[in-house]
Amino acid sequence: MKFDVSPAVWQFWSLSALVLAVLVAMLTDLRGRRISNELTLASLGMGLLTHVIGPASPGGMFSGNPGALGVQGAALGALVALLVFLPLYAVRAMGAGDVKLMAAVGSFAGPVDALNLALFIFVMGGALALVRMWLGGSSHRVRVNLQLMLQPVWAGGSRCFDPATQSADRMPYAVAIAAGFLAYGAWLWLWGSPPLRF
């Protein structure tokens, strides 16, 4: 079922829904260091629905020629975002809620924009982590944790990285997701096209 709306109106409401989801996730992550499954599932469903009912176009939501990618494009965007961020969860550097939030963001963005967003989110996450490390005076602890995370199991390392016990506190990564989202929007506004194109 398609709604008879202009691509610009569809883009505005789709972006508004995505911004609202990311803001709510950021606030809950800051407040309770947790992003609820209800929020991520509702956001994922909204991203899929947005691409089912919108005007069809290969441009996607962030394009100058916006349009819905269909359920396959939205699902592929969710899968791409999930696969990009899953390794960080595997090494316990990111929470499961953050990874699920990125899958929801990917469902709105589509596969190409999900990769571009991931690039900006990684850069913003690194910048925010450096600022936190510098302000908190925890550079030694971060270095030790990074060494433990990167130490291969086959090298005979017996210690493992456990952020719950070996970190002062984990950064609420939804802040980096929101900052990366804003940075990507600013890039598109200034340069008109994403840095990674396929």
Angle made by CA atoms 183, 181, 194, in degrees to the nearest 5:
65
Helices (H) and strands (E) in the chain, counts: 8, 0
| CA count, 13 A, side-chain hemisphere, 104 | 29
Identify the weakest region by mean pLDDT among 148-157, 174-183, 189-198.
Answer: 148-157
Is the pTM for the entire model greater than 0.85? no
Q: pLDDT tens-digit profile of 50-77?
A: 999 888 877 788 888 888 899 999 999 9
